[in-house]
């Protein structure tokens, strides 16, 4: 395999507030780490990125801003994997756009200690916007789109560290779902169905690996896809996402409590977005990146469940969407993604955020 605070990113220097890391050589680091979807060959950061990239957040600034650093790039520029997952201490990226196709089965793992990527057994069916989650010693992959952000399939698979296993199919073909492990089951929430009539759905499935069966729970309050999801203290947080399209991004933030099978409204995310990273880091839910109409976001905003409030932190060095984001050790790792609106350009960028 071939292997003022208001800030529009422009020029060759990006400075993040807070503790300084060597963030002034970002564009030098980015050289040759991009590829167009319709044309082979590496390119530099596209000019359109500067028109689309924004980092302004309406949220109050956190006292401790943290900082980003650049790391070893992906072997292949990729985007629209949908999300990444931490599995056995490494970041795993599955499927997505790469090398002029939108249905790649590629599977890469990143070792943060060695700062090194490894190619692993490929997904049985290539797709983009695959729903991924780690649970009970396995990495699970549900659905995904066979065409560009549309035409989903209903396949489901589990990776045991050596090979993939085929699971019971989803009740309906779907892509861009939010998947999260909680207790002994996996929750599969929202997503999008259809091809020419692509639309977001509000379904809420629970998959039980012990029985290889699905059951239904209370639907989410508003159907959306490309949403962020994380489980904290026994409840699920579902944050932002798109309602049918990124032209109608949502800032909604709900929690789901399985004990009462009920959804509750929480403080909305300050920057409405979709295709963003969403992770639990220290004592906050951090959301970074994402896209909107003629926008690719670098905002890095964090939610405190104890106070039901949001703050903003140092923005991403390279704003992008459709990337993978996970926490390993004491840092957030963000790899791949599109540096401009849409899926026309893929990146190999790999950067990490830490509060120090």
Domain ranges of the chain: 26-354
User: Whose structure tokens read 């790999």?
Assistant: 350
The confidence score (pLDDT) of residue 29 equals 61
Task: Determine contact, residues 287/315, Cβ cutoff 8 Å.
Answer: no
CA angle 169, 155, 158 (to 5 degrees): 90
Task: Determine contact, residues 290/278, Cβ cutoff 8 Å.
Answer: no
DSSP states of 113-161 as a string? TTTEEEE-PPPSS--BSBEEEEETTEEEEE--EEETTEEE---EEEE-S
Whether the pLDDT of residue 13 is over 50: the answer is no
Edge-to-edge strands of the sheet including 138-142? 131-135, 138-142, 156-159, 164-166
The pLDDT tens digits for 272-320 are 999 999 999 999 999 999 999 999 999 999 999 999 999 999 999 999 9
CB atoms within 10 A of CB 128: 29
Cα(345)–Cα(53) distance, integer angstroms: 14
Nearest alpha-carbon partner for 134 in 351, 346, 324: 324
Edge-to-edge strands of the sheet including 235-239? 228-232, 235-239, 253-257, 262-265
Q: Is 304 helix (H, G, I), strand (E, B) or coil?
A: strand
CA angle 40, 44, 45 (to 5 degrees): 115
The confidence score (pLDDT) of residue 83 equals 84
Question: How far is CA 47 from its chain centroid?
Answer: 24
* 28 phi and psi angles, rounded to 5 deg: -65, -45
> Which of 5-14, 42-51, 121-130, 188-197 bottoms out in mean pLDDT, i.e. has the lowest?
5-14
Task: Determine contact, residues 258/217, Cβ cutoff 8 Å.
Answer: yes
Residue range 239-246: average pLDDT? 97
Task: Determine contact, residues 161/88, Cβ cutoff 8 Å.
Answer: yes
Which homologous superfamily is 26-354 in? Kelch-type beta propeller (2.120.10.80)
Task: Determine contact, residues 125/137, Cβ cutoff 8 Å.
Answer: no
Edge-to-edge strands of the sheet including 39-43? 39-43, 34-36, 345-347
> Which of 3-7, 38-42, 86-90, 300-304 bottoms out in mean pLDDT, i.e. has the lowest?
3-7
The confidence score (pLDDT) of residue 28 equals 57
The pLDDT tens digits for 48-63 are 999 999 999 999 999 9
In the chain, which residue ranges form alpha helices assigned H by DSSP? 26-30, 48-52
């Amino acid at each position: 395999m071939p292997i003022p605070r208001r800030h529009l990113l422009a020029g060759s220097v990006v400075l993040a507030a807070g503790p300084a890391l060597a963030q002034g050589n970002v564009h030098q680091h980015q050289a040759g780490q991009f590829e167009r979807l319709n044309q082979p060959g590496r390119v530099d950061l596209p000019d359109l990125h500067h028109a689309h990239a924004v980092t302004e957040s309406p949220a109050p600034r956190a006292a401790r801003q943290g900082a980003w650093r650049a790391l070893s790039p992906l072997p292949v520029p990729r985007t629209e994997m949908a999300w990444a997952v931490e599995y056995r201490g490494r970041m795993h990226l599955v499927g997505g756009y790469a090398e002029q196709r939108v249905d790649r089965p590629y599977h890469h793992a990143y070792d943060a200690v060695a700062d090194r990527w490894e190619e692993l057994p490929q997904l049985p069916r290539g797709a983009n916007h695959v729903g991924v989650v780690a649970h009970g010693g396995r990495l699970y992959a549900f659905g995904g789109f066979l065409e560009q952000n549309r035409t989903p399939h209903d396949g489901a698979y589990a990776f045991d560290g050596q090979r993939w296993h085929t699971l019971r199919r989803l009740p309906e073909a779907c892509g861009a779902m939010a998947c999260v492990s909680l207790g002994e089951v996996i929750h599969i929430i929202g997503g999008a169905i259809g091809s020419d009539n692509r639309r977001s759905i509000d379904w809420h499935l629970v998959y039980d690996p012990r029985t290889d069966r699905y059951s239904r729970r209370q639907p989410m309050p508003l159907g959306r896809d490309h949403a962020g999801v994380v489980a904290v203290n026994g409840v699920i947080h579902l944050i932002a996402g798109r309602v049918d399209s990124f032209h109608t991004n949502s800032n909604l933030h709900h929690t789901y409590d399985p004990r009462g099978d009920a959804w509750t409204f929480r403080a909305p995310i300050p920057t409405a977005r979709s295709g963003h990273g969403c992770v639990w880091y220290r004592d906050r839910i951090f959301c970074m990146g994402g896209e909107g109409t003629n926008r690719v976001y670098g905002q890095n905003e964090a939610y405190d469940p104890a106070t039901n409030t949001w703050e903003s932190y140092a923005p991403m060095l390279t704003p992008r969407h459709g990337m993978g984001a996970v926490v390993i050790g004491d840092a957030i790792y963000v790899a791949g993604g599109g540096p401009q609106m849409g899926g026309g350009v893929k990146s190999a960028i790999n950067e990490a955020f830490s509060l120090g």
